[in-house]
Structures are given as structure tokens and as C-alpha cells.
């Protein structure tokens, strides 16, 4: 039999050496890539609560930006990333639709910060997400998730989202581990400057 090596290490428990665990929210509007982002970074098989989309939601979920989307997160995504022997991040992804807004309060409780994924061609859909993150008092950074090689101007992104000058903006392709990792590093560095 021909076996291929699994792409992820076998699931493992968190080391007893871990002394710092931080909860990070990965948020954004519907179909922006939150599930993909967490899946690309998690060292364990991510917990996903995806369900097939139905005709009943066709009038609610705007698929113009993601016409091939067939599933949607209905509760949360969860992943884990060990940064060092004693530091681990828990990544929690929230559903992007307004009808799941009740989950946000519980998800935001205890979070160190939030990474807000935005689609550069659907920036207006990010306003409700940014408002919620600010409502819960979370520090955040913006990650422009683009599946095309085109790079959008940071100044235009900042202006369109009405960001404060010290709000970090990074670029990523949520499908790629290294790219997603750089966006997460940008958030963590921002959080460290805010808590220092």
C-alpha cells in the first residue's frame, strides 16, 4: 500500500511547560476566509462547525463575493498555535452573518485581541465587524485577505475603513500558512505594544 504522510502532526495535548495561553478572535464578514485562515495556521485539526448552505438562507447570505461557497460556519472555528515552549494561542473564528451576532459576546469574553479579515473588494461589509470589535473593547489589526496577486493600496484601505493611524494593516492569503502567520504576527506585535 502507498501511504502519504499527513500534512499535520498528530493531535497532541498542550505541554505542561505552557505558562501563557491567549485567546485571539479571527473575525470578518461573511465569506472573507476566517475558516481557511484558522485551518492554514492550526497545529491541530481545526474544529469547524460548517454546514451546507440551503435555499432558506439564499435571501439572507449575499454570495456575490463568493458565488462558489457551499458551506458556512454556524457556531465557531477553533485552532491552536504554539508559539514557543511556554506560549500558546487559541484561535477562535466567529460566523460572519448578523444572525449569529449573539455568539460574539461569549467569544469576545477573555480575548486578548482580534484579527479582522477584510476582502478588498467588499470593504463596506467590514464596518459592522469593526464596530463589534470596538464595542467589546478589543485591540485589533486588519488583515487584507486577497486571493489574487493584486495588492491594494494601504492608504486607500485605511481611508475606506476609517482606521486610526496606529491600527496595523497587513496583507495575507488565508490559504497559505506563512502568509496567515505574518498577519497574526502583526496582530501579536500590536498587542504587545498595547500591553507593555
Of the candidates 181, 49, 30, the one whose C-alpha atom is nearest the C-alpha of residue 118 is 30
- Looking at residue 139, its pLDDT comes to 97
User: What are the DSSP E strand ranges found in the chain?
Assistant: 20-28, 47-52, 71-84, 87-93, 111-118, 139-145, 169-172
- Give the C-alpha separation, 165 to 190, whole Å: 13
| Average pLDDT, integer, range 8-28 | 83
- Give the C-alpha separation, 80 to 91, whole Å: 6
Distances (CA, A) of 50 to 35, 46, 71, 76, 169: 9, 11, 6, 8, 28
- Looking at residue 187, its pLDDT comes to 98
Distances (CA, A) of 71 to 14, 57, 177: 30, 11, 22
> Which sign, positive or negative, has the C-alpha torsion 155, 126, 47, 86?
positive
pTM for the model: 0.82
Mean predicted lDDT score pLDDT of the chain: 84
- Looking at residue 6, its pLDDT comes to 45
| Average pLDDT, integer, range 45-59 | 63
Helix (H, G, I), strand (E, B) or coil at 97: coil
Helix (H, G, I), strand (E, B) or coil at 108: helix
* Domains annotated on the chain, with CATH: 20-195 (3.40.50.300)
Grid cell in block for residue 11: 493531535
Amino acid at each position: 500500500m502507498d501511504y502519504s504522510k499527513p500534512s499535520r502532526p498528530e493531535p497532541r495535548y498542550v505541554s505542561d511547560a505552557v505558562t501563557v495561553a491567549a485567546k485571539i478572535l479571527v473575525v470578518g464578514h461573511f465569506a472573507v476566509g476566517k475558516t481557511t485562515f484558522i485551518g492554514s495556521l492550526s497545529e491541530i485539526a481545526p474544529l469547524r462547525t460548517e454546514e451546507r448552505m440551503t435555499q432558506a438562507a439564499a435571501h439572507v447570505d449575499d454570495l456575490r463575493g463568493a458565488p462558489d461557497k457551499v458551506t458556512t460556519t454556524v457556531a465557531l472555528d477553533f485552532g491552536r498555535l504554539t508559539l514557543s515552549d511556554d506560549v500558546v494561542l487559541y484561535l477562535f473564528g466567529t460566523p460572519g452573518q448578523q444572525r449569529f451576532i449573539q455568539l460574539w459576546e461569549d467569544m469576545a469574553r477573555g480575548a486578548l485581541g482580534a484579527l479582522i479579515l477584510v476582502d478588498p473588494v467588499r470593504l463596506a461589509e467590514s464596518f459592522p465587524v469593526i464596530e463589534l470589535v470596538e464595542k467589546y473593547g478589543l485591540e485589533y489589526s486588519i488583515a487584507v485577505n486577497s486571493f489574487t496577486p493584486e495588492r491594494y493600496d494601504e492608504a486607500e484601505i485605511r481611508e475606506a475603513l476609517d482606521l486610526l493611524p496606529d491600527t496595523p494593516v497587513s496583507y495575507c492569503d488565508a490559504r497559505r500558512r506563512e502568509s496567515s502567520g505574518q498577519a497574526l504576527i502583526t496582530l501579536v506585535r500590536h498587542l504587545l505594544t498595547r500591553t507593555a
